[in-house]
């Protein structure tokens, strides 16, 4: 942090945090006015990563925008792919002539990779939050497990960060031959590793006391400020689109939704930094269970090369040559919360309007409220607990 200015009375000063501070999870600038060690006001300053992605979406053909969705949230690109593709499929479904039927196997694969990506995304969130408050080792444990997920994705689609895997009408490639067995092996060892991770940091008294009671958001405040995903559920609000507005095959999986509560052995209130941390860990455990359930439902692979998993793109391209006119809004449950696409079609080869709503954008809006009154040393913990990714804010 650097001191930019000081008020004439000498009691308050303005601190400039970012835009290149390593604890801001991207090129995010936060202007803090402090009274000694206490934050009196906090103003996020966005725009350092703006790339006009939504405008690009209006100038490329429908399938060509899928790779750009990877860049909206590069930490969970599978979920970003899925949100856009579901929105386009929903638009095509408004006309029987262009309706696409996603193969059952592709539906299962979509959920499988989305939940694996949720695991790897939450590992970054909880590991980075621990590192922000001074515990570096848990971050390395989280990165090590994330790399194992990336190994699976690399074999699946050739990429480790921006995948361009989920496509309109299905997925780009079928699972490689021993993928189910490799995923099961990963899940088995991952559960054992999470026991070590929790012993290392989750039950650590210092970490718990640093987070308990800090930046508390009540259920009413979370709803009023439009928080979504783990940030909403951390405040005790029991809502998850995968269970309450299911898409794909989520309606068959019986998704269990963890919420913030007074966990035994710690101080604090429901909706504080520790609750948001714990909810993400519990969601990781639920994602492990969902992956196992999906593998049980996964249909056998077709033997012919004309399997719709690999040949669906021709049908999608045919339908998108003249898509129906109209508009749709599709909501999905991404790791950082609700990711929704509003798409307007004028019947052309490119969308007339593309609008993406993300969880980080809504989380950043509450910073100036929750950080008022916290210590300067807790600012990075608060940012980490909300798990913001700057590309989701600057679109």
pLDDT in tens, 264-316: 445 668 899 999 999 999 999 999 999 999 999 999 876 543 455 654 667 78
Give the per-residue pLDDT at 262: 66
pLDDT for position 268: 67
Question: Residue 318 pLDDT more than 90?
Answer: no
DSSP H helical ranges for 99-204: 104-132, 137-157, 179-197
- Residues ≥6 apart with Cβ < 8 Å to 145: 119, 120, 123, 190, 193
Evaluate if residue 1 carries a pLDDT over 60: no
- Residue 41, beta-bridge partner list: 33
Q: Region 75-91: what's the mean pLDDT?
A: 95
Q: CA-to-CA distance for 154 and 117, rounded, in angstroms?
A: 12
% of the chain residues with pLDDT over 90: 65
Provide the pLDDT confidence category of residue 16 given band limits of 50, 70 and 90.
confident
Listed in sequence order, the residues at least 6 apart from 314 whose beta carbon sits closer than 8 Å to its beta carbon are none
Place of tokens 């995304």: 121
Please give the structure tokens belonging to residue 5: 């200015």
pLDDT > 50? residue 11: yes
Mean of the pLDDT values across residues 213-222?
Answer: 93
Backbone angles phi, psi at 247, to 5 degrees: -135, 160
pLDDT digits (tens, 9 = 90+) for 350-382: 999 999 999 998 898 899 899 999 999 899 899
Do the beta carbons of residue 323 and residue 62 sit within 8 Å?
yes
Give the residue-averaged pLDDT of 183-208: 93
In the chain, the percentage of residues whose pLDDT exceeds 70 is: 91
The confidence band for 393, taking pLDDT boundaries of 50, 70 and 90, is confident
Q: Which fold has domain 53-393?
A: Cytochrome-c3 Hydrogenase; chain B (1.10.645)
Phi and psi at 326, nearest 5°, equal 140, -170
Give the per-residue pLDDT at 216. 92
Instruction: Specify the pTM.
Output: 0.92
The predicted structure's pLDDT at residue 59: 94
Query: So what's the pLDDT on residue 321?
Result: 86
SS3 assignment, position 9: coil
The bridge status of strand 38-45 relative to strand 166-167 is: unpaired
pLDDT tens, 36-63? 889 999 888 888 888 899 999 999 999 9
Task: Write the DSSP string, 372-383.
Answer: TTSBGGGHHHHH
pLDDT for res 309: 60
Q: Which residue has the higher pLDDT, 341 or 134?
A: 341
pLDDT tens per residue, range 221-272? 999 999 999 999 999 999 999 999 999 999 999 999 999 886 544 566 889 9
Task: List the chain domain ranges.
Answer: 53-393
With cut-offs at 50, 70 and 90, classify the pLDDT of residue 6.
very low
Average confidence (pLDDT) over 338-349? 95
């Amino acid at each position: 942090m650097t001191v930019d200015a000081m008020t004439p009375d000498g009691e308050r000063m303005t601190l400039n945090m970012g835009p290149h501070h390593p604890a801001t999870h991207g090129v995010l600038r936060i202007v803090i006015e402090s009274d000694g060690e206490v934050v009196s006001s906090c103003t996020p300053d966005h725009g350092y990563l703006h790339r006009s992605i939504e405008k690009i979406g209006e100038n490329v053909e429908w399938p060509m925008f899928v790779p750009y969705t990877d860049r909206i949230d590069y930490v969970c690109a599978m979920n970003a792919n899925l949100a856009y593709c579901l929105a386009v499929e929903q638009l095509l479904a408004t006309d029987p002539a262009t309706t696409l039927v996603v193969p059952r196997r592709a539906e299962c694969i979509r959920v499988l990779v989305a939940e694996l990506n949720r695991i790897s995304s939450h590992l970054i969130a909880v590991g980075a939050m621990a590192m922000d408050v001074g515990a570096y080792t848990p971050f390395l444990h989280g990165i090590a497990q994330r790399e194992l997920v990336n190994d699976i994705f690399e074999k699946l689609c050739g990429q480790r960060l921006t995948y361009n895997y989920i496509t309109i009408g299905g997925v780009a490639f079928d699972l490689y031959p021993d993928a189910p067995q490799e995923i099961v092996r990963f899940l088995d060892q991952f559960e054992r590793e999470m026991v070590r991770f929790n012993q290392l940091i989750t039950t650590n008294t210092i970490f718990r006391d640093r987070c308990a009671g800090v930046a508390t958001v009540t259920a009413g405040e979370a709803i009023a400020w439009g928080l979504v995903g783990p940030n909403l559920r951390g405040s005790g609000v029991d809502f998850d689109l995968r269970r309450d507005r299911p898409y794909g095959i989520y309606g068959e999986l019986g998704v269990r939704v963890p919420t913030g509560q007074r966990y035994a052995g710690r101080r604090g209130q429901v909706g504080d930094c520790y609750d948001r941390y714990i909810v993400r860990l519990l969601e990781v455990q639920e994602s492990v269970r969902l992956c196992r359930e999906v593998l049980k439902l996964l249909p056998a692979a077709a033997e012919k090369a004309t399997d719709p998993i690999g040949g669906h793109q021709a049908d999608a391209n045919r339908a998108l040559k003249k898509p129906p006119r109209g508009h749709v809004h599709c909501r999905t449950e991404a790791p950082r919360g609700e990711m929704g696409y509003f798409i307007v079609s004028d019947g052309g080869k490119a969308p007339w309007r593309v609008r993406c709503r993300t969880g980080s954008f809504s989380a950043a809006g509450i910073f100036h409220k929750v950080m008022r009154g916290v210590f300067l040393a807790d600012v990075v913990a608060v940012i980490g607990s909300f798990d913001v990714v700057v590309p989701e804010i600057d679109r």
